[in-house]
Amino acid sequence: MTLAEPRPAPAPVADLGAGNGPEWIDRWLADHAGDVVAWRRAVHARPELARREHETTRLCAETLAAAGLQPRLLPGTGLVCDIGEGPRTVALRADMDALPLTEQTDASYSSQVPGVAHMCGHDAHTAMLLGAGLALASAPSLPGRVRLVFQPAEEVQPGGALDVIAADGLAGVDRIFALHCDPRLEVGKVGTRTGAITSACDMLELRLTSPGGHTSRPHLTADLVHALGTVITGLPDLLSRRVDPRSGTVLVWGTVQAGHAANAVPQQGVLGGTLRTAQHATWNELEPLVRSLVTALLAPTGVGYVLEHRRGVPPVVNDAVSADLLACAAERAAGPGAAVGTEQSSGGEDFGWYLEHVPGAMGRLGVWSGMGEMSDIHQPTFDLDERALPVGVRTLVHAALAALAG
């Protein structure tokens, strides 16, 4: 089965913003909210990893073209599509890729692809953007141009946002918005904030080499495992004294590999982890600082080493105007009280690359039903309350309208 094949229509989903208008949004969602759910379930059942989102790209392109729009395919996967005309252009972005995880839900639409699953909500992001685009296309008129950005490869660093930018997907855009599913917020709420909402994230990989030898004679070789331990404990400690503690900088090791025999000093070892910071200025300073500290830590050990510091993504920093527009859009979409504050996360998001070029904002869309526990994103049990989908459609539409009007 492919994404393009017919599927049973899902049960209707409640539109929590029904009656908030404009009338054409109410009418479109009354007729098509079930389609948004169906798109989400179709994408969820056929998840695709980063830069392999061929079926998802095809579904989006065919759906938009069937509505009389003219999507432009990006090199590889992903697409952009403009709606309306005018001197101002506002972009709305959704990411499309899934995670290399095995789904553990009982959903009727659970992943049909072994080892691949939409456990971060990108299936919902894709469906909501399709809905927002077709709703906007149904409007009698628009105060400018809206660009839909269906982006590949958010889950890999440095991220598919750079692919979109390289393909001129951001050309002429004045402001950009996005929503991300948040299982900590109840359906009907949208978390917004001015300033950084996510953190920068880099990947570190340190490869050590030693002549090796017998553990009874460590003085005759370079003790590779001891050197690994020196970096494992020493580098986070030194960073805490060399970086402003208010920057929220944290280094956590996720993998260490060395040796096979308890009585042999190994010849090779690998250490890997993530380095995150909440401040953009600190992010720019970290690579040379980390290299100097690793050199100082390993100099007495005698081991050889190669450090690969892979710059990942910058923080997502919402500008004040865009954050306010997004909060107002949430209130218009779901009523008074829909916009709530949210904290900065230490997670990374490549939406930050767009904000290096144009102002914009990302918000957190509540997807928790309000009953029972909600598994966090990137867990194999993650799922969402589909009533969030019309809320997301309405919020994206109102954000675009408000930005164009402003």
Give residue-wise pLDDT tens across range 1-34. 466 565 556 667 999 999 999 999 999 999 999 9
The per-residue pLDDT for range 278-325, each reduced to its tens digit, is 999 999 999 999 999 999 999 999 999 999 999 999 999 999 999 999
Q: What angle do CA 97, 42, 71 make, to 5 degrees?
A: 65
Q: Exposed/middle/buried for 307, CB within 10 Å: 0-12, 13-18, 19+?
A: middle
Q: List CB contacts of 316: < 8 A, sequence separation 6 or more.
A: 196, 197, 198, 349, 351, 352, 355, 362
Where does the pLDDT of residue 374 fall: very low under 50, low under 70, confident under 90, or very high at 90 and above? Answer: confident
Closest of 126, 119, 70, 140 to residue 95, by C-alpha? 126
The 8-class DSSP code of residue 103 comes to: -
The per-residue pLDDT for range 73-92, each reduced to its tens digit, is 999 999 999 999 999 999 99
The per-residue pLDDT for range 167-212, each reduced to its tens digit, is 999 999 999 999 999 999 999 999 999 999 999 999 999 999 999 9
The per-residue pLDDT for range 128-160, each reduced to its tens digit, is 999 999 999 999 999 999 999 999 999 999 999
Neighbours of 75 (CB within 10 A): 8
| Percentage above 70 pLDDT, the chain | 97
Where does the pLDDT of residue 373 fall: very low under 50, low under 70, confident under 90, or very high at 90 and above? Answer: confident
The 8-class DSSP code of residue 180 comes to: E
Starting at the edge strand that comes first in sequence, how are the strands of the sheet with 200-209 ordered?
250-258, 268-277, 200-209, 304-313
What pTM does this model have? Answer: 0.92
